[in-house]
Amino acid sequence: MNLNRFIGNSQLSVISKLARQGEEREYFKNLILELKETIKTMPKTYETDGQGSEAIAMLHYFKDGSDWYIIEKDMEEEQVQAFGFTCLNGDKQNAELGYINIEELIRYGVELDLYYKPEKIGDIKARFNN
């Protein structure tokens, strides 16, 4: 599993360095393994079709008040786009489901939330509506 399709170079570099040298290297080794497993086993394009609010967001990206929750990854090995829920610039009223270009997110310095636990899209929407 190639994590650089899902994590920016600078973030991945820091995690990798901590997994090799850091005081908490075992924690970061396990974190890398968990991320790889999550990405490997997450649904591919159209596999959650029809699940609606029950679909599970597997990954969360964030930057400057914007959030992207990824439900499905590409079917192909090359990871270009994904499907998920997006809230741009804190505009909760216009948050929506749609296709998300992960390469573009990474290029603009969006970070993967390393502490995110998968949750239902319905729960995310409810949180945004409060």
Q: What mean pLDDT value characterizes the chain?
A: 92
- Greater pLDDT, 54 or 5: 54
Q: Which residues pair with 63 in a beta bridge?
A: 66
pLDDT(122) > 70? yes
Contacts for 100 with CB less than 8 Å, ≥ 6 apart: 68, 70, 81, 82, 83, 84, 86
pTM of the complete model: 0.92
| pLDDT tens, residue by residue, 7-22 | 999 999 999 999 998 7
Q: Tell me which residue range forms the domain holding 21.
A: 3-129
Rounded distance, CA 94 to CA 17, Å?
39
pLDDT(79) > 80? no
Q: CA distances (Å), 24 to each of 18, 34, 114, in order?
A: 7, 16, 15
Overall domain count for the chain: 1
Rounded distance, CA 83 to CA 8, Å?
19
